[in-house]
Amino acid sequence: MIRPIYAIINTNAVKNNFKIIKNIAYKSKIWTVLKADAYGHGIKNIFPIIKNDTDGFAVLTLDEAIILRENGYNKPILLLEGFFNKEELYLIYKYFLTITLHSKWQLNNLIKYKAKYPINIYIKINSGMNRLGFSVKNIMQIINIIKNKINICKITLMTHFSDASKNSNFIKKQINNIKKNIHNYYKFSCSFANSAAMLWHSSSHYNWIRTGIILYGASPTGIWQDIAKKNIKPVMTLKSKIISIQKISQGETIGYNCKYYTDKKHRIGIIACGYADGYPKNINNKTYVLVKGIKTLILGNISMDMIAIDLTNIPTARIGSSVELWGENIKIDDVAKSSGTIGYELMCSVSKRVPRILK
Ligand SMILES: *Cc1c(COP(=O)(O)O)cnc(C)c1O
């Protein structure tokens, strides 16, 4: 038997979520973000589903961009952090990529490069995130250098928001910082909004939005309730099966370090999933899975390859019964919350040994 753990990728959910994005940001073009192997879903699984609908794909690495080109994608591809060393410029031109420029060292290298044709450039503005980008005060100067020294086709202004949740004031602060300091910024093409800004701040949409997490069906805030009414569908279902059942009496313990103590008789199911599959180890003691349509608790410590769950109240559960660890019913945001993280991290952490199955 093959070890029964799968990440099921729901094609219709991807299409559904893309439509929702399109309806909300109907005036903007859409960069669909495929970095980190499409947030753990598999770049080759996700890109064919929406390649005809999205206006372009945004990726982090040259490898990801080349996968898209080699699979026949010939619309725009944006490298979200541009290049990491100047040797990459050759391939950037070879594959017709759009690059982000966030630092002076990149600019200097690009100036020296003997380009054969004009390139599209995203200039990253540091409007308050203080991670990447040129200071708002220097942007006009950077633009002038680019216009004079580089063979460019089009310049787009780009920034990234630190907090674009519904009631955030910081996003307003960041946009105002741009408005105040970059005279006529709106005469350029602008790309500011991520998923959160797309959902909750329509005045930030401008020409191109960049959406990741909403396409995959989790909340940008890490709280499912924040998007529960938007008809967004979880794309990934992490599924396993029960491989062993234990009947244990009162006064025993379960798993490593005797973490769970039975105060009554229990029927326990052991499922084929552990932290080596990417399930978080540090969950709190109110973390659920779904068996036979019933939510039930995880008991004791997560092992590398196994998890114990309570079947006491699910008498119909058997060896081979299916278990949902997250997906349509158990929201990845809820599992993330009970382990002190966000859905983004859990998606990206599903390990290589878990096969992704397109549905
Ligand atoms: C990852 C990323 C995004 C997408 O963010 P989501 O919150 O997943 O929508 C947008 N812009 C940049 C620069 C990114 O790195």
For 107-142, write each residue's pLDDT tens digit.
Answer: 999 999 999 899 999 999 999 999 999 999 999 999
Separation of 193 CA from ligand 1 center, angstroms?
A: 8
pLDDT (0 to 100) of residue 244: 98
The model's confidence at residue 341, banded by pLDDT at 50, 70 and 90, is very high
Question: pLDDT of 301-319, one tens digit each?
Answer: 999 999 999 999 999 999 9
Question: pLDDT of 61-95, one tens digit each?
Answer: 999 999 999 999 999 999 999 999 999 999 999 99
Classify each residue of 175-187 as buried b or exposed e, where b means 16 or more C-beta atoms within 10 Å of its C-beta.
bebbeebbeebee
Average pLDDT, the chain: 97
Domains of the chain: 11-216 (3.20.20.10), 236-358 (2.40.37.10)
Please give the positions annotated as active site: 35, 256
Q: Are 214 and 41 in contact (CB under 8 A)?
A: no
Check pocket membership of 124 for ligand 1, CB cut-off 6 A. no
pTM for the whole structure: 0.95
Q: Is the pLDDT assigned to residue 1 strictly greater than 70?
A: no
pLDDT (0 to 100) of residue 46: 98
Classify each residue of 93-108 as buried b or exposed e, where b means 16 or more C-beta atoms within 10 Å of its C-beta.
bebebbbbbbeeebbe
Check pocket membership of 343 for ligand 1, CB cut-off 6 A. no
